[in-house]
């Protein structure tokens, strides 16, 4: 496809009035910032939940101030009940995976920068875009309601396995309305994500500027495009699953509940369902979901690294094909979450092969990053530090995946802290490092001001060291048999290792406190930061050719023309060692290659 079709964006008039400009805005930039703000609230909520969990874990009988005020049933006298620990665990996972890791790298940065990077005035469907955000917001409100109902949030984990999540209040506290609110919230979230993914795909296919072939798109744009393709198919499967779950809970159906099930000494009035079906449907969504969480950060990090190294990656094409392979393979591996579910061991083998195969494109990406870094004179700033940190976290978290991919080993390690360490490092921390890198990199463009480099570097080192302190011990703890989703181990065989858990708790508190530095930097710089030039990083992609912050129609009514790929660094350009993507000047390589 040489260029986009003749379709113009459904352009809208410049916004007037506070509500149109900042609340129900059709502008993809405002919507991107709204997603970012929601993710920021969700991540700090999730972080505080993790603090509460860690405090309870090492001091189970301690009184946590203010907790009783928050939930009388969950923490009578300030002492957290074991069930409330599970409630907090469920909400931590749900908030983090859905409202942080899907929102921030994908919806927030993607919405803001994808149209600009392809040279468009806005997304293909600005009204759908606005609906996407406010539907996501509605989903978040519904989820948070679970904290405020008397019974509390559900205790079934972010994976809400059936039959316990389908039978209702017999399954425990929070499993009446708490679990229903979860189901409704996630169903709403699915609709929002589907609309968003549709927008991304249509925009990328149709609204590229003249000269912007698919292969000339920046790597982060490619990452958002591949992610939206994955998201479209994944959320389309989670939505029916949530519908069936809600029907089981409220309409008396039995999609997931077998006959003869006795819970809390009560025979459940259902028959004919399959609990394993939920696991299949959920993980068919759930595994692509983790690639939705990581791919945008991979793209953002690639984009930032090229800029910091002042030379292109070894092969952008291979990076693009690797991202596409990861997207494709992600649909074949879901059963590796179910090795111990009782399914046919032959199925386990069938899932293990593609799981190991998907490590190939991930390794190719890592080798390209590392190979490109070799011999590079990298300019260190907060953004590039977090980009480098991403590679470290991704590899550290990823290598434990090789072990978990094999059923024989996973039988032992499943549901232990080994898995917790794996996914937190490879998905949680790595993805957030990509978000941090993107924030430091794009903040000047979004606000017209620079963030504090000193605070940024301090934030990086605290987070980098802290994350390793928190999650590395989990691998060892898992290997010696520390089970996950247990509220406390002080009285059992894990008692000798409570010291490790105390270390992790302190690390978590300190690392978490460090994030407030970031929050302060973000808010302070927004109002008092040094004014930023149009292109503070001497970068080449189209977002750096427009003012900071960009006007409502991005390119001021002009239609940019693109002449080459976006990674012309290390060349003799008229402005320096780079040539911008919309510059027609001839590209002369600086070194003779």
Q: Is 236 in the site for other proteins (CB under 8 A)?
A: yes
Q: Is 112 in the site for other proteins (CB under 8 A)?
A: no
Q: Least distance (Å) from other proteins to the CB of residue 292?
A: 15
Residue nearer to other proteins on the CB measure, 331 or 497: 331
Q: Least distance (Å) from other proteins to the CB of residue 11?
A: 14
The answer to whether residues 413 and 478 touch, using CB atoms and an 8 Å cutoff, is yes
Q: Least distance (Å) from other proteins to the CB of residue 20?
A: 23
Q: What does the alpha-carbon distance between residue 297 and residue 540 come to, in Å, rounded to a whole number?
A: 19
Q: Is 91 in the site for other proteins (CB under 8 A)?
A: no
Bridge partners of residue 470, in order along the sequence: none
Q: Least distance (Å) from other proteins to the CB of residue 564?
A: 19
DSSP 358-383: THHHHHHHHHHHHHHHTT------HH
Q: Alpha helices, DSSP H only, in 375-486?
A: 382-404, 407-413, 417-423, 430-447, 453-479
Residue nearer to other proteins on the CB measure, 162 or 416: 162
Applying CB under 8 A, the site for other proteins has a residue count of: 39
Q: Is 241 in the site for other proteins (CB under 8 A)?
A: yes
Question: Sign of the C-alpha dihedral, residues 118, 123, 224, 42?
Answer: positive
Q: Least distance (Å) from other proteins to the CB of residue 284?
A: 7
By CB under 8 A, name the one of 112, 113, 133, 239 that touches other proteins: 239
Residue nearer to other proteins on the CB measure, 205 or 409: 205
Q: Is 499 in the site for other proteins (CB under 8 A)?
A: no
Q: Is 214 in the site for other proteins (CB under 8 A)?
A: no
Q: Is 258 in the site for other proteins (CB under 8 A)?
A: yes
Q: Is 378 in the site for other proteins (CB under 8 A)?
A: no
Residue nearer to other proteins on the CB measure, 341 or 357: 341
Q: Is 6 in the site for other proteins (CB under 8 A)?
A: yes
Residue nearer to other proteins on the CB measure, 86 or 130: 130
Q: Is 332 in the site for other proteins (CB under 8 A)?
A: no
Q: What does the alpha-carbon distance between residue 157 and residue 56 come to, in Å, rounded to a whole number?
A: 17
Mask 261-300, x = binds other proteins (CB under 8 A)?
Answer: ----------xxxx-xx--xx--x----------------
First to last CA, the chain: 29
Q: Alpha helices, DSSP H only, in 207-256?
A: 219-250
Q: Least distance (Å) from other proteins to the CB of residue 6?
A: 6
Mask 114-143, x = binds other proteins (CB under 8 A)?
Answer: ----------xx------------------
Residue nearer to other proteins on the CB measure, 194 or 358: 194
Q: Which of 212, 211, 205, 144 lies closest to 178 in space, CA to CA?
A: 144
> Per-residue b/e over 413-442, b at no fewer than 16 CB within 10 Å?
bbebbbbbbbbbbbbbbbbbbbbbbbbbbb
Q: What residues from 149 to 208 belong to the interface with other proteins (CB under 8 A)?
A: 194, 197-198, 201-202, 205-206
Which structure tokens are listed for 5?
């079709």
Q: Is 252 in the site for other proteins (CB under 8 A)?
A: yes
Q: At what angle do helices 359-373 and 345-357 cross, to 10 degrees?
A: 20
Q: Least distance (Å) from other proteins to the CB of residue 136?
A: 17
Q: What does the alpha-carbon distance between residue 71 and residue 151 come to, in Å, rounded to a whole number?
A: 9
Which of 458-463's residues contact partners 24+ apart within 8 Å by CB, and which partners?
458/514, 458/517, 459/382, 459/514, 459/515, 459/517, 459/518, 459/521, 460/382, 460/385, 460/386, 460/389, 460/436, 462/510, 462/511, 462/514, 462/517, 463/389, 463/433, 463/436, 463/511, 463/514, 463/515
Q: What does the alpha-carbon distance between residue 584 and residue 502 come to, in Å, rounded to a whole number?
A: 59
Q: Is 472 in the site for other proteins (CB under 8 A)?
A: no
By CB under 8 A, name the one of 113, 140, 224, 255 that touches other proteins: 255
Q: Residues in the site for other proteins, rule: CB under 8 A?
A: 5-7, 124-125, 194, 197-198, 201-202, 205-206, 232-233, 235-237, 239-241, 243-244, 247, 251-255, 258-259, 271-274, 276-277, 280-281, 284
């Amino acid at each position: 496809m040489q260029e986009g079709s003749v379709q113009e964006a459904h352009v809208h008039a410049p916004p007037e009035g506070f509500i149109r400009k900042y609340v129900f805005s059709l502008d993809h930039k405002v919507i991107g910032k709204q997603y970012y703000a929601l993710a920021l609230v969700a991540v700090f909520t999730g972080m505080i939940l993790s603090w509460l969990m860690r405090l309870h874990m090492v001091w189970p009988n301690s009184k946590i101030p203010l907790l009783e005020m928050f939930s009388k049933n969950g923490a009578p006298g300030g002492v957290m009940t074991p069930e409330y620990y599970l409630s907090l665990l469920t909400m931590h996972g749900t908030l983090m995976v859905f409202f942080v890791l899907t929102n921030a790298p994908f919806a927030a940065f993607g919405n803001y920068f994808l149209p600009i990077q392809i040279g468009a005035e806005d997304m293909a469907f600005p009204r759908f875009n606005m609906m996407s955000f406010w539907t996501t917001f509605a989903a978040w409100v519904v989820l948070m309601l679970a904290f405020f109902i008397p019974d509390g949030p559900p205790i079934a984990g972010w994976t809400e396995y059936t039959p316990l999540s389908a039978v209702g209040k017999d399954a425990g506290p929070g499993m009446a309305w708490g679990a229903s609110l979860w189901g409704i919230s996630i169903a709403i979230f699915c609709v929002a994500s589907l609309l968003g993914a549709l927008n991304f795909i249509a925009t990328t296919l149709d609204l590229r500027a003249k000269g912007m072939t698919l292969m000339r798109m920046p790597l982060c744009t490619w990452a958002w495009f591949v992610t939206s393709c994955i998201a479209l198919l994944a959320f389309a499967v989670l939505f029916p699953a949530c519908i069936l779950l809600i029907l089981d809970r409220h309409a008396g159906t039995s999609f997931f509940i077998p006959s003869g099930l006795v819970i809390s000494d009560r025979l459940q009035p259902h028959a004919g369902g399959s609990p394993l079906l939920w696991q299949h449907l959920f993980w068919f969504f759930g595994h692509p979901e983790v690639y939705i969480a990581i791919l945008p950060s991979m793209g953002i990090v690639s984009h930032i690294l090229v800029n910091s190294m002042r030379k292109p990656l070894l092969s952008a094409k291979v990076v693009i094909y690797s991202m596409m392979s990861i997207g494709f393979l992600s649909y074949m591996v879901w059963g590796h979450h179910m090795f111990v579910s009782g399914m046919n061991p032959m199925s386990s083998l069938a899932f293990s092969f593609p799981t190991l195969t998907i490590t190939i494109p991930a390794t190719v990406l890592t080798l390209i990053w590392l190979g490109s870094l070799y011999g590079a004179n990298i300019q260190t700033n907060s953004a590039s530090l977090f980009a480098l940190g991403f590679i470290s976290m991704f590899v550290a978290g990823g290598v434990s995946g090789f072990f978990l991919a094999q059923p024989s080993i996973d039988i032992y390690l499943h549901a232990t802290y080994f898995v917790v360490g794996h996914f937190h490092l490879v998905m949680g921390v790595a993805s957030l490092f990509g978000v941090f890198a993107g924030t430091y990199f794009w903040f000047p463009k979004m606000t017209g001001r620079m963030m504090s480099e000193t605070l940024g570097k301090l934030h990086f080192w605290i987070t980098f060291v802290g994350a390793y302190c928190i999650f590395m011990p989990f691998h060892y703890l898992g290997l010696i048999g520390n089970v996950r989703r247990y509220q406390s181990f002080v009285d059992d065989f894990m008692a000798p290792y409570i010291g490790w858990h105390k270390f992790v708790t302190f690390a978590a508190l300190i690392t978490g406190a460090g994030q407030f530095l970031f929050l302060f930097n973000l808010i302070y710089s927004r109002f008092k930061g040094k004014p930023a030039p149009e292109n503070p990083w001497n970068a080449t992609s189209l977002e750096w050719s427009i003012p900071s912050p960009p006007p409502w129609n991005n390119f001021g009514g002009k239609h940019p023309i693109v002449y080459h790929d976006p990674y012309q660094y290390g060349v003799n350009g008229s402005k320096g060692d780079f040539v911008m993507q919309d510059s027609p000047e001839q590209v002369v390589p600086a070194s003779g290659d």
